């Protein structure tokens, strides 16, 4: 999966098209993400000890993973990502536009480390 929690993404389809936000949750099984400030709905809540007044609360709802695209922290552009192996045997995500590393996918492995 090319998007992880705390990544900054831009919505490319839907009512919130063109807006950017931070990923709060990723549901791999359903293929959805919850983005901060995106796809907000009103949720009507009943009075309880947790919410003594009740009323309406804004809540972010999940959107399809295919409707968001990652923002590269290095170049700041909307980009696709790839995976590449590092010399120490680990794997990292990288920006396809500027080739900068975005984050580690797998830890280094002593067996697979290339002798340089």
pLDDT digits (tens, 9 = 90+) for 47-92: 999 889 999 999 999 999 999 999 999 999 999 999 999 888 889 9
pTM: 0.82
Judge if 64 and 88 occupy the same domain.
no
Give the range of the structural domain holding residue 90, as residue numbers without chain letter.
75-116
Alpha-carbon distance 31 to 2, whole Å?
11
- Asked if residues 11 and 23 have their Cβ atoms less than 8 Å apart, the reply is no
Q: How many domains does the chain have?
A: 2
Tell me the CA distances in angstroms from 103 to 19, 43, 47, 68, 76, one per residue in order.
23, 35, 43, 18, 15
Do residues 79 and 29 both lie within one domain? Answer: no
15 and 30, same structural domain?
yes
**Predicted confidence (pLDDT) at residue 116 exceeds the cutoff of 60:** no
CATH number at residue 3: 2.30.30.30
């Amino acid at each position: 999966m090319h998007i992880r929690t705390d990544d900054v993404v831009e919505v490319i389809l839907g009512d919130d098209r063109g807006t950017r936000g931070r990923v709060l949750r990723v549901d791999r099984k359903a293929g959805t993400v919850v983005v901060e400030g995106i796809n907000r709905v009103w949720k009507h809540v009943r009075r309880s000890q947790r919410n003594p007044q009740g009323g309406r609360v804004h809540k972010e709802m999940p959107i399809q993973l295919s409707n968001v695209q990652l923002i590269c922290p290095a170049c700041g552009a909307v980009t696709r990502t790839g995976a590449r192996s590092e010399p120490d045997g680990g794997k990292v995500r990288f920006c396809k536009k500027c080739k900068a590393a975005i984050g580690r996918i797998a830890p280094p492995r002593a067996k697979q480390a290339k002798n340089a």
